[in-house]
Structure 1
Amino acid sequence: MLLSLLLFIALLVSVLYYQPPLRLGSVILVLGTLFLTTYSGIMWLLLFPTLLITAILNIPQWRERALIKPAYQLLRRSMPSMSKTEREALEAGTTWWEKELFGGQPDWSMYSDITLPQLSEKEQQFLDNEVEQLCQLVDEWDIGQRKDLSPEAWDFLRQNGFFGLIIPEAFGGLDFSPYAQSRIMSKIASKSPTTAVTAMVPNSLGPGELLVKYGTEEQKQYWLPRLANGTELPCFGLTGPEAGSDAGSIPDMGIVCRGEMNGEEVLGLKLTFSKRWITLAPVATVIGLAFKLRDPEGLLGDPDTVDYGITCALLPANHPGIEIGRRHNPGGPFMNGPIKGEDVFIPVDWIIGGASMAGKGWRMLIECLGAGRGVSLPSLATAGSEMCYLNVGAYARIRRQFNMEIGKFEGVQEATAEIASGAYTLEAMRQLVTRGLDDGAPSVLTAMAKYHATERMRTMVNHAMDVVGGRAIQLGPRNFLAAMYHTMPVAITVEGANILTRSLMIFGQGSMRCHPYLFEELQALQNADEVAGKEAFEPLLMAHLAHTGSNMARTLVFGLGCGLGSPLPINANSFNKPWYQKINHLSAALATCADVALGTLGGSIKRRELLSARLGDIHSELLIACSILKYHQSLPTSDANDAHASFALKRSLNNAQQSLVAFCDNFPQRWLGWLLKFLCLPLGRRYQAPDDNQIRELGALIMEPNPVRQALKQYVYVSESSDDAAGRVENTFSALLKVDSAWQAFSRARSKGELGASGDLDTELSEALRLEIITEADVEPLKTYDQLRFDSVLTDDFEAL
């Protein structure tokens, strides 16, 4: 009886796994069940349900009555209506590799065809010359004292095209790729986060990108050249006192009316708005503005439409009625402030894209948020993580306590290993995400990038502060961590607060955009014509059920063997093959859990933010794991590369597993949650976090000039000046590497009391030379290093505060 039951389960799982045509699969299942009844009487109890279910699925009249009609009516009642704003947000942008991971059956041939981005010759020259010169020109401590960039820095940004990176060459811009933009912003941010934020805004969410994609030819010809050469400096007014992350609820209003412009009566808008937290507002010469548009008199030509919805317009900052308020203090010295206006009249031609784009602003904004979410903020986070890797790794080697480098203490290594892994991960994410942006505007992908990059930066910077201690707390020109520490909350908050991004956006948009059937099903359910809606719904539901069944079978099979035997990329090797198989398993588990949640909770999943956030975390961690594998493959083979990638992959998949377990443990129907947990992890938790050996290994590597350190070093600005905060530590680290063996021998002898108790370095070196602990050639380099070492651990002091 038990054997027959197990064989039936194996048969059912096989049919679901391989997804043969419905009739063929039904025949196989029925014949198999009949065969098994000859061995066990209990199978008669399964034969009749099997016959009934396969009959319902295969006979159209029975399927309509027993399945399609009840499901259609139930879901039509339970699914929430979709507002125009929600529909625009869901339809905006594109999908990419993240869709494959959400579907549960990744197409690894597509992944194999993805090549990481490369800089063009022009982009590389700009990075090596203009960006390098800018980094030499700016100083974050000086900017903090001024509360502004220097006039020379502003001029350099304008004159060298830093505000026109995304503008086409035909309009005087540089037209750089997303990857080049990210690399440029990272390098600037590694020297001065304030300068990077200043350069980011015109190249992310702002008038420039909106004009390039949606502006009229007249608007492009007038504004883009001025934006590209810095004659005009833009800002974008989106958020306000009552609408921060929920930008769709902005209360700012524009009323279509007739008014006077340049002495003539024209059709236009009367705007009333109050915007806050607008970066570059205090110095902007042109303002992009988002507002809700109403046309109560039908002046735009459609008497049936009064509320057009969110619209975007472009206004000169000196236009009558606009008031630029006093500066905010966001914790950093970059320009940020409020903008207000009451009954400000503008011609209708100032709508970006003209009158035909009235009411289409929300879709425009959603699609253009990709630059901020996928390029600017992750580049800032990546720069911070890579500078933490370089500076903290070096400092942990230089700084000694209890006569040992602090980086050799296992407690410190627990933090530095996470810094090393995090920096490797963020660089990998940057490269895969910007590659995705080359193919479109993947809104889910960029939301993942923004949230996870900035959150990982938060973790790494906090670890760095713990390791460096008081040296990182005392402010001054010597401090190499303070600027990034103070910038961190800004990156986490802007472009949609991280809590919102994680809780609502990643899974909320991901389920609709990345699921192969859900969005079309929802449209069928909300079709005003019920007959037509039901006709469209039936094939979608049948395909959806087959998809869910297949993923459930795959989840169980892969869970029993950690994905063993699952599909792989054509270039899989001994290192990455097991990781691809684990991704296959967790991808199938994500698809299964998502379908069960959507099927049982329906529209209420929007309110179950703890559950939806965990599903979003699984989805994100799978994408992150794929980025790590792609980046690992791009680097030369080395033990250090393998060590960093293995640690990062273990961390990522363990995070995904934790979210999966938490989702199942907290599922409202506890019995169903238990069943899902067994289905997804039939042998228990298989994906362990990095162990102590890996922590020690990475904690040691971060203090060495290993190949990964050298690879990450090329993405940031590394000063050769000992007067630079980061350069001082890097130069000291380089000096230590040259005298390390002699310094170690000298330090050991000193700690054992073999050199006397004079405390005088010259005397101790002479004694070490006499005892042949060091050689004559070591004496002067050791003196030089000791001076550098002592200077590198000092903090600034001031006469008065």
Structure 2
Amino acid sequence: MNYYLYALAVLLLILWYNRVKFIIWSPVLAVFVYLGCPDKMGIAVYLTINILLLIEPIRTALISKPLMALIARLKLMPSISQTEKIALRAGTVWMDGEIFSGRPNFTTILSDSYPTLTAEENAFLNKEVDEVCRMTNDYETSERRDLSPQVWQYLKDNHFLGMIIPKQYGGLGFSALGHSAVIQKLATHSQALAITTMVPNSLGPAELLLHYGTQAQRDYYLPRLANGTDVPCFALTEPLAGSDATSIRAYGIVFNDNGVPKIRLNFEKRYITLGAIASLIGLAFTLRDPDGILGKESDLGITCALVKSSLEGVVQGRRHNPLGIPFVNSPLQGMDVIIGIDDVIGGMDGIGQGWMMLMESLAVGRGISLPSTCTGGIKLSTKVCGAYATVREQFGTSIGNFEGIESVLGHMAAMTYMMDAARIFTIGAIDEGKKPSVINAVMKYHSTELFRKTINDAMDIVGGAGISLGERNLIGHAYMGAPIAITVEGANIMTRTLIQFGQGVIRCHPFAYKEIEALGSNDAKAFDVNFFAHIGFALGNMVRMILLSVTRGYIYLPKSSGVARNYERKLMWTSATFSFMTDLIMGLFGGSLKQREMISARFGDVMSYSYLLMATMRRYKEEGYSKDSEVFMKYVGDHALSNIQKAYDDIAHNLFSGILFAPLRFYMRLNRMGRPANDQQLHRLATIILTQDEKRDALTKDVYVGKQLALLEEAFKLHNEAKPIVGKMKKAIRAHALPKAPFDLLIEEAVKKSVISKAEGSTLKKAYLLKQEAIQVDSYDVSTFVRD
């Protein structure tokens, strides 16, 4: 009898692990009950419960309806406002849904789009983008606080401001990847140049017109935006409304002008990029119709309109100074500015649709523009530091040979690989028409934070060469610009604590939003179906979590190859754990979950690092699971899993703190998902960027190599070529054939004594002279440096 019970128990675990429907595993459980409890009363109780759960009308009447009343009375489900509903419905669920599922489909994940540039986009990147970078002297731009007139004209003439506009309207019609690649490369040379180009191609008039404008609006404005006749900006942020865009005070009043309905606008905006020079302002405001001219409603909601800066009442002419980075960023005001209904984006149909437009269009800023700018900055930091740490010497050796520097360089290399993988993977989804709003928030947060970390590390490595501003400084302005990326499109503290998991738990969970909607509409049938499906989902994830945990993921057969197989197993384990614990905290906190921001942030960390690891695995597969990519895959895998483990530790520390949960906490410490990468991995990664070869070039692809960086790269190259020559001289010094002295002072003597050849002496002399030139910093005459 016991053998049958064991076999049935195993069968039940298998069924629950695979989340089969209740109607399938219920008979198996019935046999288990019968064999384990032959008492007739026990069987009768089980059958009664079974019938109650299986017959939907009975279940709905006896369980679901009373439960709905209880949930409403105890406020166990969060209330969702209309604006929150619009934000939640905006965009689509993508890889975030896989993470929340508890059972990610790696066949789908590993075959999802990982795009490449078209020939046309590549040509533009290597010609027009290189040319505008050559034309832009970043230090002079900083000093004059604007791009030169020649650069502005080149951007307009070559349609940089219209990359996202289709060719039929005169734009470049680039893919999201093409758009991203241009912004990324510009950011490796000049933050001001990148931001100036980025904004017209992000959330603004062109993006909104393409998706929501009338045909007449598109036909008129898009060609003007594509060729730079109109310079656009988008005015959303206000002194009293930042991240909380629903609180905007800018307003429009509908009035009757000789029988024609018009709108009188009043607004005060700030932090508006290109605001001071824009000829076409995209404006977000709340629209009111107190006299009912357009219909019965008086409060028409957030609306977006196109406002020509030449209109009476528009006040431009002032600029902010964003940490000295000289892109145009400005306040804007409007006093009794008159526009027509035709100026509303979408015309009459666009009235009151502004919030929806904004939420659906934020994908561009969060998913493309900011990750591209920041990945460019990360690549630049990695390329510069690899070369500089080789050329710069202390205590007779390159500073890159010190383990402290090496550990930082290794981490920079791996994070460059990971962030570029995530950038391309995310953009592949956007190019396919998806709008993964939660993943875009993940990308915004991690790309900007990683850029901040990387540029700080770079400043530590290059030291005074990063601090002393001037034409020789390769990273100073990037360092100054890092906090700007942190604050825009939703400040990072709020992105981590409110958006990633806060929106994801409702938007991406298979049942949560459906249950909330059913409760809101008092739809007992819909609630019943989704609630009991949710119960089965949670049960299956609990069993999956336990079995994957005790087997450390080895119960699962991975779809990937190479070292990724182990990380796929761990991701399957963490997804099941994440999904079950998500259901657990929804049950614990109910409607107050939105206010538990610190817990939410930690769950967001689990979700976001899971995504970054998925993206890296996708790149690893795209590269054919190559040996060269293996070291990156291993480091990123260990890095992501250790951060996931830390998040789980912090969750357990805060949620399961009593003595009752001590065994659980002990088990979690004993059976860890991951630990940080080891020193050997860091050494291998650092070696890649300290060696001038195709692996380093691939890692830092599309960094613009201007005059100063070319000089550093040449010094880097000659330094490596001179290493064997220096080795001969060191050997001669140890043998007392040469005296102890700086090598550059011994070159002629070494040649005379045939320690090295004349050609080797020439190479060594050139390497020293070039190194000396490459590590110089700018200085200025005191009489002209100090300003009156």
Q: TM-score, normalised by structure 2?
A: 0.94
* Contact 1:559 1:683 survives alignment (8 Å): no
| Structure 2 residue identity aligned to 1:786 | Y
Pick from 465, 472, 494 the counterpart of residue 500 of structure 1. Answer: 494
Matched, 1:479 2:468: no
* Counterparts in 2 of 1:661 and 1:766: CA distance versus 1, 3 Å: same
- Aligned partner of 2:705 in structure 1 is 718
Residue type of the alignment partner of 1:662: D
User: Aligned residue for 2:454?
Assistant: 460
Name 1:559's counterpart in structure 2: 549
| Aligned: 1:209 with 2:199 | no
1:279-678 superposed matches below 5 A: 279-301=273-295, 303=296, 305-331=297-323, 332-439=325-432, 440-527=434-521, 530=522, 533-569=523-559, 572-635=560-623, 638-667=626-655
Structural mapping, 1:11-410, within 5 Å: 13-36=13-36, 54=50, 56-58=52-54, 60=56, 63-64=59-60, 67-77=63-73, 78=75, 79-259=77-257, 266-301=260-295, 303=296, 305-331=297-323, 332-410=325-403
Given candidates 750, 758, 767, the residue that maps to 1:785 is: 767
Contact 1:300 1:355 (8 Å CA) reproduced: no
Q: Return the offset for 1:776.
A: 2.7
Q: Pick closer, same or farther for the CA change 1:616–1:637 going to 2, 3 Å.
A: closer
Q: CA 1:320 to 1:405, structure 2 compared with 1: closer, same or farther past 3 Å?
A: same
- The size of the alignment, in residue pairs, is 779
Q: Which runs of 5+ in 2 are unaligned?
A: none
Secondary structure, aligned partner of 1:313: strand
Distance in 1 of aligned mates of 2:545 and 2:391: 49
Q: Which of 731, 737, 747 is matched with 2:720 structurally?
A: 737
User: 1:66 Cα shift?
Assistant: 5.9
- Tell me by how many angstroms 1:30 deviates: 3.2
1:694 is matched with which residue? Answer: 681
Are the counterparts in 1 of residues 313 and 334 from structure 2 also a CA contact under 8 Å? Answer: yes
Assess, with a 3 A threshold, how the Cα gap between structure 1 residues 566 and 67 changes in structure 2: closer, same or farther: farther
Contact residue 283 and residue 307 of structure 2 kept, 8 A: yes
Structure 1 residue 616: Cα displacement: 1.3
Cα distance between partner residues in 1 of 2:530 and 2:403: 55
Q: CA offsets per residue over residues 232-277 of structure 1, 9 Å max, x none?
A: 0000000010111112211111111123xxxx65211111111000
State the secondary structure of the residue aligned to 2:779. Answer: coil
Deviates more, 1:229-238 or 1:575-584: 575-584
Secondary structure at the aligned position of 2:750 is classed as helix
How far off is 1:75 after superposition?
Answer: 2.6
- The answer (yes or no) to whether the contact 2:547–2:555 under 8 Å persists in 1 is no
Q: Which amino acid in the other structure matches residue 404 of structure 1?
A: T
Q: 1:712 to 1:682 in 2, by over 3 A?
A: closer
Q: In the TM superposition, what whole-angstrom CA distance separates every residue of 1:529-570 from its partner, at most 9, and x where no partner exists? A: x3xx1111001111111111111111111112232232533x
Report the equivalent of 1:709: 696
Residues 428/50 of structure 1: CA separation in 2 closer, same or farther (3 Å cut): farther
Aligned counterparts of 2:279 and 2:591: Cα–Cα separation in 1: 44
Q: Distance in 2 between matches of 1:256 and 1:709?
A: 60
Cα distance in 2, alignment partners of residues 513 and 656 from structure 1 = 21
1:763-774 aligned at under 5 Å gives the runs 764-769=746-751, 772-774=754-756
Aligned residues of 1:140 and 1:192 also touching (Cα < 8 A): yes
Q: C-alpha separation between the residues in 1 aligned to 2:383 and 2:561? A: 30
**What is the distance in 1 between the residues matched to 2:305 and 2:423?**
32
Asked if structure 1 preserves the Cα contact closer than 8 Å seen for 2:564 and 2:633, the reply is no
C-alpha change, 1:224 and 1:752, in structure 2 (3 Å) is farther
What SS is found at the alignment partner of 2:127?
A: helix
The SS at the match of 1:281 is coil
Query: Residue type of the partner of 2:481?
Result: T
1-structure distance, mates of 2:442, 2:169: 32
Q: Quickly say closer, same or farther: Cα 1:50–1:796, change in 2 above 3 A.
A: farther
CA contact (8 A) 2:564 2:617 kept: yes
Higher mean displacement: 773-782 or 382-391: 773-782
The one-letter code sitting in structure 2 at the alignment partner of 1:111 is I
Matched residue of 2:756: which SS?
Answer: coil
Using the alignment, how far apart are the partners of 2:41 and 2:736 within structure 1? 85
Q: Once the 2 structures are TM-superposed, how far is the Cα of residue 612 of structure 1 from its aligned partner?
A: 0.9
The CA deviation string for residues 350-392 of structure 1, in whole angstroms up to 9 with x for no partner, is 1100111111101101111111111111011111111111110
Which stretch has the larger CA shift, 481-490 or 92-101?
92-101
1:377 touches 1:491 (CA, 8 Å); kept in 2? Answer: yes
Name the stretch that deviates more: 151-160 or 50-59: 50-59
Tell me which amino acid in the other structure corresponds to 2:170.
Answer: G
CA contact (8 A) 1:207 1:287 kept: yes
Distance 2:409 2:353 in 1: 47
Which AA in structure 2 matches 1:58?
A: L
The CA RMSD over aligned residues, in Å, is: 2.6
Relative to 1, partners in 2 of residues 1:20 and 1:672: Cα closer, same or farther, differing over 3 Å? farther
**Quick one: distance in 2 between partners of 1:100 and 1:266?**
52
343 and 538 in structure 1: CA distance in 2 versus 1, 3 angstrom threshold: same
Distance of 2:775 and 2:40 partners within structure 1: 80
**Offset of 1:89 from its aligned partner?**
0.5
SS of 1:284's equivalent in the other structure is coil
1:540 maps to amino acid = N
Q: Does the 8 A contact of 1:17 with 1:550 survive in 2?
A: yes
Return the offset for 1:644: 1.6
Deviation at 1:59, TM superposition (A): 5.3
Aligned-partner Cα distance in 2 for 1:277–1:115: 36
Give the partner amino acid of 1:192: S
Asked whether the equivalents of residues 461 and 485 of structure 1 are also in contact (C-alpha less than 8 Å), the reply is: yes
Shift of 1:31: 1.9
Identity of matched residues, %: 37
> Shift of residue 9 of structure 1?
6.8
Alpha-carbon shift at residue 161 of structure 1 (Å):
0.4
SS of structure 1 residue aligned to 2:655: coil
Structure 2 counterpart of 1:309, one-letter code: G
For the pair 1:799 / 2:787, whether they are aligned, the reply is no
**Cα distance in 2 between the residues matched to 1:740 and 1:711:** 24
